């Protein structure tokens, strides 16, 4: 499942749970009703962080719940972790 599909399903589920209309969410998020509808239908494949944050506030839900994944910690590959470790080692050295 893609991010925009997760947003669409989680957004609609929460909106219905709260008993809100599309216009209610749009008003709370300071967005157009059309923009909310597009997101809820999964027709907005790359929503801005501003839109995502507005929706989380409008629906009183954590970003992790809206996205359907834990975004609090980045997922790094072994190579990326090794690079971070090497960087830390270089910059911890005393002159």
Torsion angle of the four alpha carbons 64, 38, 35, 61, in this order, in degrees rounded to the nearest 10: -20
Say whether pLDDT at 93 is over 70: no
Nearest partner of 38 among 49, 19, 20, 51, judged by Cα: 51
pLDDT of residue 78: 87
Q: What is the pLDDT of residues 35-75, one digit of tens each?
A: 999 999 999 888 999 999 999 999 999 999 999 988 877 77
The structure tokens 């967005």 sit at 31
How close are the terminal C-alpha atoms of the chain, in Å? Answer: 50
Distance CA 48, CA 64 (A): 15
Least confident residue range of 13-17, 55-59, 87-91: 87-91
More confident residue, 85 or 15: 15
- The DSSP call for residue 37 is H
Say whether pLDDT at 81 is over 70: yes
Distance CA 37, CA 32 (A): 9
């Amino acid at each position: 499942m893609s991010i925009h599909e997760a947003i669409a399903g989680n957004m609609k589920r929460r909106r219905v749970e709260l008993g809100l209309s599309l216009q209610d969410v749009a008003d709370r998020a300071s967005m157009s009703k059309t923009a909310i509808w597009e997101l809820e239908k999964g027709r907005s494949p790359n929503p801005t962080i501003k839109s995502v944050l507005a929706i989380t506030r409008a629906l009183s839900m954590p970003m992790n719940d809206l996205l359907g994944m834990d975004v609090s910690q980045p997922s790094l590959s072994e190579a990326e972790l090794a690079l971070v470790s090497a960087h830390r080692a270089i910059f911890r050295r005393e002159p």
